[in-house]
Amino acid sequence: MFKIQTLIFFALISFSLQDSNCLVYYEKCEEQEEAYPVKIANCKFGYLDDDGKEICDECNSGFAISDEYNNCTKVDNTIENCIEYKLKDGKFVCSKCKDGYIRSDDQKKCRESKNCYRFQLNENGEEICDGCEKGYVLSNDKKSCIQFENCIILDEKDEKCIDCDEYFHPNANGKCERTQCEVYDDNNNNVCTTCYQGYYPNDDGKCEKIPVENCLKFDSSRNKCVICLGDINPDSDGKCNLPSPLIKGCIKYGSDKKCTECINEGEDYELTAGTCKVIDCKDGKKKYEYCLACKAGYYMEWDGERDDYICIGYDGSMDTSSSDSSSRNTVEYALLIFILAFLI
């Protein structure tokens, strides 16, 4: 009975450590920088420069940073919708407006942004927008921002999108839709010649998902993979068998599924008996953990809210578990311990 419980326990651990769509999982140990408590009055964040001089990076609310960043002065003339101030030529100006507002050129006012990140005057003295926020593009008269998700350039005549963000393509209605195609035919904008990793162009010029997992190059005539991820060779059936779970820090695997090369070998990792060992992970250092590369069919993008990298599929699917963060490990291990205690 005990052996069965032990096997179940380790199977659960193995499952919990598998990053569903992350190919190279990275661990790095770095020195923890201690915040320096500057002696500048009313300074919120500060540090020492290369010369050992105290610098204030941000003052407390209601105080402005001096031109030399070494003093915080109480603001006596507030600017509507301004949340951070600085001294410029002896006068208070706004250094940051609240969300939804942007600074004027002279930094003395905060005006409603209307999804424009900067206004300026043209040669006729008219106020125009110099650029729009993400998800918006300039109107033809450049006086407003029109909502066009993932669009870069609008057609000047009918305001249809003619150029989209990466991984998107204009459809017949001029909207940007997600695509698995990287390069389209010059003579036919609907025929794909090169697809993103994890996809291949079929006879109709459409991108189909490669049916073999972890495959980079697929031979559709034989229904076999010819090039696999992780520098491994396909087996006799044309399958790509990566080890499960993946070895953290490994970028190349041998036929025996052991690691043959680690990321930043000799600097962050050392190759030891087919595994990658983190170098210099000692007390006083903080361990950073994140995904460094995604499996075929996914691309990596930084998620500011999670403060982590995630793998997003070219088909729009999202893998928020691609990076095995410490906080998630804590929850998973607590759950595993609970399950084991229940089994016992």
* Long-range Cβ contact pairs of 39-44 (< 8 A, separation 24 or more): 40/70, 40/71, 40/72, 41/72, 42/72, 42/74, 43/72
* Structural domain includes residue 141: yes
* Whole-number CA gyration radius for the chain: 27
Domain hosting residue 254, numbered range: 243-281
- Strand 181-184 and strand 318-319: the pairing is unpaired
- Strand 63-65 and strand 82-88: the pairing is parallel
Residue reference for tokens 């459809």: 171
* Structural domain includes residue 167: yes
- Cβ-Cβ contacts under 8 Å for 172 (sequence gap 6 or more): none
* Structural domain includes residue 253: yes
Confidence band of 33 (pLDDT split at 50, 70, 90): low
Residue reference for tokens 């189909």: 208
148: left (phi over 0), alpha (psi -120 to 50) or beta: beta
What does the angle CA 291 – CA 295 – CA 298 come to, to the nearest 5 degrees?
90
* Structural domain includes residue 257: yes
pLDDT of residue 80: 93
Mean pLDDT of the region 45-68: 89
What does the angle CA 185 – CA 186 – CA 188 come to, to the nearest 5 degrees?
60
- pLDDT exceeds 70 at position 281: no
pLDDT of residue 219: 92
Measured CA to CA, the distance from residue 37 to residue 94 in angstroms comes to: 25
pLDDT of residue 30: 66
The more confidently predicted of residues 159 and 138 is: 138
What does the angle CA 221 – CA 222 – CA 223 come to, to the nearest 5 degrees?
95
* Structural domain includes residue 2: no
* Structural domain includes residue 60: no
Question: Nearest to residue 141, comparing CAs of 129, 150, 123?
Answer: 129
- pLDDT exceeds 90 at position 81: yes
Residue reference for tokens 């068998």: 241
At 300, the amino acid letter reads M
Mean pLDDT of the region 252-262: 89
Measured CA to CA, the distance from residue 192 to residue 199 in angstroms comes to: 11
Tally the domains of the chain: 2
Q: Which two tokens stand for residue 47?
A: 């540090």
**For residue 130, what are the CA distances in angstroms to 63, 111, 120, 146, 219?**
30, 15, 7, 13, 48
- pLDDT exceeds 90 at position 305: no
- pLDDT exceeds 50 at position 338: no
The DSSP output letter for 265 is B
Q: Which of 133, 158, 178 is the last residue of a domain?
A: 178
* Structural domain includes residue 111: no
DSSP result, 138-169 = E-TTSSSEEE-TTEEEE-TTT--EEEE-TTEE
Could you tell me the pTM of the whole model?
Answer: 0.62
Residues 323, 328, 329, 334: what is their CA dihedral angle, to the nearest 10 degrees? -160
pLDDT of residue 4: 39
Indicate the angle between helix axes 2-17 and 326-343, nearest 10 degrees.
Answer: 160
Measured CA to CA, the distance from residue 276 to residue 262 in angstroms comes to: 6
* Structural domain includes residue 34: no
- Cβ-Cβ contacts under 8 Å for 46 (sequence gap 6 or more): 36, 37, 38, 40, 54, 55, 56, 57
- pLDDT exceeds 60 at position 192: yes
The more confidently predicted of residues 323 and 176 is: 176
Measured CA to CA, the distance from residue 226 to residue 90 in angstroms comes to: 68
- pLDDT exceeds 50 at position 327: no
At 288, the amino acid letter reads Y
Mean pLDDT of the region 261-284: 85
Q: Which of 130, 163, 178 is the last residue of a domain?
A: 178
Q: Which of 251, 266, 281 is the last residue of a domain?
A: 281
Confidence band of 13 (pLDDT split at 50, 70, 90): very low
- pLDDT exceeds 50 at position 291: yes
